[in-house]
Amino acid sequence: MTTITHEPLRDNLGMGARVRGVTQASLQDDAVRAQLNELFELRGLLIFEDVEPSPAMQVAISTVFGPLKDHPSKATPRVGGDDMLGVIEIRHRPNSGGRVRIGDQVMSQWLPWHFDHCYNDALNRAGVLRSVEIPPEGGMTGFVDGIALYEAISSDVREQIADKTIMYAMDVILGDLRYGRPVDFAEVEASPESKAVMEEFADRPRALHPAVWTRRSGEKVLHVSPWMAKGIDGLDDNEGDALLKIVCDEIVDAARDLSYFHQWKPTDMLIWDNWRCLHSVSGMPAEYGRCMHRTTIAGDYGLGRFETVTT
Ligand SMILES: [Fe+2]
């Protein structure tokens, strides 16, 4: 008999749970798999503690929640052989490129609030992360719940954005970040992969996703990614820009209280609901290394599409 235990991440958060007792053996148990899926649907972010730190374990945990999906960018390195399909490596080598400045702090690995694959029509169900090289300082992964964000933003903005559709395009040039941009922000040096990624995605149409959507369980989710947002469908550029700016500023403000930043341990893995949560990465000093392994769980919420381009 396998016992999985769990507890809320923080008393005042509807999102997140710490989960213990997960092993490759326990994951064979159908009752455990069902329990984890139910908990994931309820909490949107599960942090598995004291798990075997291996790609095989990451695949075992990931496939509880759905089939793996390969990463859409060919420029992203893969880990292991065919049986580890879908485990990608996100590595920062000490003092390599990819630096931003916020105020007087220069850092690597900083990423703004976003949901994954917003530049795509289909939205992956979830991502699973493990840190295989942990910097002594910074490099935390942040999460904020779209259900809580929907409740937290001001009522007039909520009303204005409720029926809007946001346009997105792949954009890894952080210097061009327009929405949710920190005060006194600059890109010091683009990441080494950014050029190849931008070239690969140059000819793709923009993707459209609703700003707010309703879960099967009835909660409304504010699901706007400040990163890679390009405008609001049906509004002219100025109007769309002004509303997007207000919404994204409110998201960033609300996230100060509502977010959870995970400080990694080598035996942690976590899964987040990409249809519900936004995530981000805190920066870290460039002289440290950091390496994350990541899988993507396939699926789609069925509300995204590509823009129809008329010629
Ligand atoms: Fe991401």
pLDDT band for position 1 (cuts 50, 70, 90): low
C-alpha 292 – ligand 1 centre gap (Å): 11
C-alpha 306 – ligand 1 centre gap (Å): 20
The string of pLDDT tens digits covering residues 7-57 is 999 999 999 999 999 999 999 999 999 999 999 999 999 999 999 999 999
- pLDDT value at position 6? 97
Residue 224, pLDDT > 70, answer: yes
pLDDT band for position 166 (cuts 50, 70, 90): very high
- pLDDT value at position 97? 82
Q: What angle do CA 71, 44, 232 make, to 5 degrees?
A: 65
- pLDDT value at position 74? 57
Tell the CATH topology of 5-93+106-299.
Answer: Double-stranded beta-helix (3.60.130)
Q: Which residues, 6+ apart, have CB-to-CB distance to 44 below 8 Å?
A: 15, 16, 145, 147, 272, 273, 276, 277
CA–CA dist 189, 98 (Å, integer): 5
Whole-prediction pTM value? Answer: 0.94
C-alpha 244 – ligand 1 centre gap (Å): 20
C-alpha 61 – ligand 1 centre gap (Å): 19
The string of pLDDT tens digits covering residues 61-96 is 999 999 998 765 556 666 765 555 689 999 889 988
**Please, which residues have CB less than 5 A from ligand 1, an ion?**
116
Q: Check residues 306 and 86 and name the one with the higher pLDDT.
A: 306
